[in-house]
Chains A and B, each alone.
Chain A
Amino acid sequence: MAKTIIPFGPQHPVLPEPIHLSLTVEDEIVTQAVPALGYVHRGLEKLCDIRDYHHMIQVVERVCGICSKIHAMCYCHGLEEMMQVEVPPRAKYLRTIWSELHRVHSHLLWLGLFADGFGFEALFYQLWKIRERVMDINEATTGNRVIVSVNVMGGVRKDLSLEQIRWILSELELVESELKALESTILDDYTVKERTVGKGMLTKEQAYDLGAAGPTLRGSGIAQDCRQLNYAAFSDLEFEPVVEYDGDSYARSKVRYRETLQSIDLVRQALHKLPDGEINVKVKGNPEGEGVARVEQPRGELFYYFKGNGTKHLERLRIRTPTFANIPPLAAMLPGIELADVPVVVLSIDPCISCTER
């Protein structure tokens, strides 16, 4: 059988974002996959030349709309460490709460899109219905559904009242019970298993060598989670990285399902332990020298590099996002699978192209 090259993307029904893959197929089997990027590249790292380091928070929030809070937290956390700013404990807890809420909504969004990717639309609808509760929490506490914009240098912009805390706890109760009611469908359903088990295999060695990150790494049996670095309030909260050992699309979706429940638990712990006090401190001076920050995004490890020169503009800002790390593993997963499984496998790394290209 002769080789055929099939273009996949940039505009494709299963992909909410533009990425192009040139798939070489023999019969129905993919033998090679070459990704082409650049459809979302905006060049926003360069904006630090014209926006000062406070205004850059609004720009980095828009690197990715799904995990905007976590990008801003990473940026602030890195610069605060560079400038030796002591963030008040209440602000650290509030940052943790919102970032974990973002993880819940991101994972629910992904589980839904994944179900839609293999044609299980009822599950997609159910999961997005649950997700709306988290979006309501975001909107009620910060004023916006997606880009919550709560981080400022030296703390956070918004506080939670006792009444809001009670309401969040009761809403999370509902999110958890509704999600658990779907557990048997997400994990044991015949359709789900047929489409995901054994598809897109990534062994532990491959995951390590190719530098996979986040659920893609943990789905292959490596227990690495940047939250173990104890930024924000994670040092006071109890959690264990979620690990699965099969290394296929099913294992990765299982990791994300279990992480959603774990994040709900983390929010609950943080809300119970929330200390009193200030929510931000004034930051004086300008960043100087070099610094890095690493945090755990829903998709994996997020890395920021800063270089300051004593002026209000950063000299260099470099963002390395988890999907960038997960593209080589994806290129390794695709050869050998059937063409019909390509959307499922591509989705299984939870690609966030706007993060990757910035």
Chain B
Amino acid sequence: MNMLSKFLQTSRIKSPWVLHFDCGSCNGCDIETLAVLTPVYDVERFGIINVGNPKHADVFLVTGTVNHRNKKVLKNLYDQMPQPRAVIAIGACGLSGGVFRDAPNVVGGVDKVIPVDVYVPGCPPKPEAIIDGVVKALELFAAKS
């Protein structure tokens, strides 16, 4: 491993930038994902920053069920992210469709559209669980690169 790639890997693991996309969730998981960034949990002290541009992001946090309209948006965002990337599905809906799995406009979990690396269960998961999910994804980063 040359010096540049070692530097890149260290920065990626030590300061992952996350992109959050609400893919048809009820907001429960979204406000918990946002709560992770606020003073009580404050993940910014670990270098985790929430960004709006998929081209800047390393980790993709997806909440909610996939429906027929937003699956294209989800795929599009995923395709724009640079390699290596990790996808974290948050909440029961993101895992399997949850309570809405039988609803007419629901495709199912996030893994029906894009590959998912880490699953965080809960309805909604607690902020601690989301942080734990991100940490698990970083371990994958270390293995991937």
Contact = CB atoms under 8 A, between A and B. Distances in A.
A13 B50 CA distance: 9
A66 interface: yes
A16 B103 contact: no
A129 B52 contact: no
A62 B29 CA distance: 11
Contacts of A147: 26, 28, 123-124
Contacts of B99: 58-59, 62
Given A11-B77, A39-B67, A47-B102, A62 B26 contact: yes
A42 B67 CA distance: 7
Contacts of B40: 128-129, 132
A16 B52 CA distance: 10
Nearest to B93: A62
Contact of A352 (B27, B54, B102): B27
B73 A42 contact: no
Contacts of B51: 13
Given A125-B38, A125-B39, A147-B124, A65 B25 contact: yes
Contact of B27 (A11, A65, A124, A135): A65
A125 B37 CA distance: 9
Nearest to B74: A11
Given A10-B73, A11-B77, A125-B38, A42 B106 contact: yes
A236 B77 CA distance: 51
Contact of A64 (B27, B32, B52, B65): B27
A166 interface: no
Contacts of B38: 112, 124-125, 128-129, 132
Given A46-B104, A58-B99, A59-B99, A145 B73 contact: no
B135 interface: no
A47 B100 contact: yes
For A50, A58, A128, the residue with the greatest tally of chain B CB atoms inside 10 Å of its CB is A128
A342 interface: no
Interface in B54-113: 54, 64-65, 67, 69-70, 73, 77, 98-100, 102-106
Interface of B: 20-32, 34-35, 38-40, 51-52, 54, 64-65, 67, 69-70, 73, 77, 98-100, 102-106, 123-124, 126
Interface of A: 10-13, 16-18, 38-44, 46-47, 50, 58-59, 62-66, 68, 109, 112-113, 124-126, 128-129, 132, 135, 145-147, 352, 354
5 contacts: A62-B98, A65-B124, A68-B28, A113-B34, A352-B27
The 7 closest A-B pairs by CB, nearest first: A65-B28, A13-B52, A128-B38, A65-B27, A43-B104, A43-B105, A65-B26
